[in-house]
Amino acid sequence: MNSIHQSSEKLPNFFRLILWSYDLEKLDLERNKKIIILNSLNYGDFSHWHWIINFYGKEAVRSLIQDTPASEFRPRVRHLITLIFDIDHFSHALRSIDR
């Protein structure tokens, strides 16, 4: 989290559209960072993307993207993510091996 932001800061109301199954008042912006960022990237619009970049920082968002399996991103969003965040590879989901 950027140092200018207070830990008591809450998500703007426009996040209700993409985080409808969560109580926004109870979401912790640091502890629930992955949920907030992934939902913003997959289902949000420019206002959501702009907010997460301004709040968390572009490099923090980029790092989270690189540590997240590609399968967690919608195919239509994946290409845009690679362009905006300069991602050259995605992590791969580990698969279990039945023996």
Chain segment 16-56, per-residue pLDDT in tens:
999 999 999 999 999 999 999 999 999 999 999 999 999 99
Three-class SS state of 91: strand
Confidence of residue 4 (pLDDT cuts 50, 70, 90): very low
Q: Is the pTM of this model over 0.85?
A: no
> Taking CA 82 as the corner, what is the angle to CA 7 and CA 88, rounded to the nearest 5 degrees?
105
List the one residue out of 83, 86, 82, 75 whose CA is nearest residue 42. Answer: 75
Domains of the chain by residue range: 27-84
* Whether the Cβ atoms of residue 1 and residue 29 lie closer than 8 Å to each other: yes
